[in-house]
Amino acid sequence: MIKHISHIGIAVKNLDEAIAIYEKLGLQLEGIEEVPSQMVKVAFFPCGETRLELLMPTSPESPIAKFIENRGEGIQHIALAVDNVTEELNKAHENGFRLIDTQPRPGAHNSEIAFLHPKSTLGVLIELCQEKED
């Protein structure tokens, strides 16, 4: 079951500069984390029930580096918090969605994530995100 929008992913070239911009908006940095499996360094800003996730590539081979090269900095994905990412991924497949991931993979904050291809979601990259239990 989809619970809420977990976060909005924003691709950035320079994490320090991007953090300064969002802090000037009045948001408070929650933390910075490197996610080796995604080849990114991320910074999270809580904004109500949702977070803004700034993503800076740590390798020119990362999907974020390629996104920035092709489209520039900006919104890269919307993450939906789900109870069970494996079940939701299977449902999406059964309902004809094109999958980027056929199995969940590790994400930031010890979450399990999987992506739906934007060609099947009206051009929006959707991340299914099972957040860690408190």
Residue 7 has pLDDT above 80, yes or no: yes
Q: Please name which of 34, 85, 103 lies closest in space to residue 62, comparing C-alpha atoms.
A: 34
Q: Which pLDDT score, from 0 to 100, does residue 110 have? A: 87
CA 63 distance to own-chain centroid: 11
Say how far apart CA 62 and CA 113 lie, in whole Å.
16
Q: What is the CATH number of the domain that holds 113?
A: 3.10.180.10
Domain hosting 93: range is: 2-130
Q: Please name which of 18, 64, 24 lies closest in space to residue 40, comparing C-alpha atoms.
A: 64
Say how far apart CA 44 and CA 117 lie, in whole Å.
24
Average the pLDDT over 52-65 and give the result: 97
Residue 33 has pLDDT above 80, yes or no: yes
Q: Which pLDDT score, from 0 to 100, does residue 112 have? A: 95
Distances, alpha carbon 82 to alpha carbons 3, 4, 13, 40, 68, in Å: 6, 8, 29, 22, 27
Number of domains forming the structure of the chain: 1
Answering whether pTM is above 0.85, one says: yes
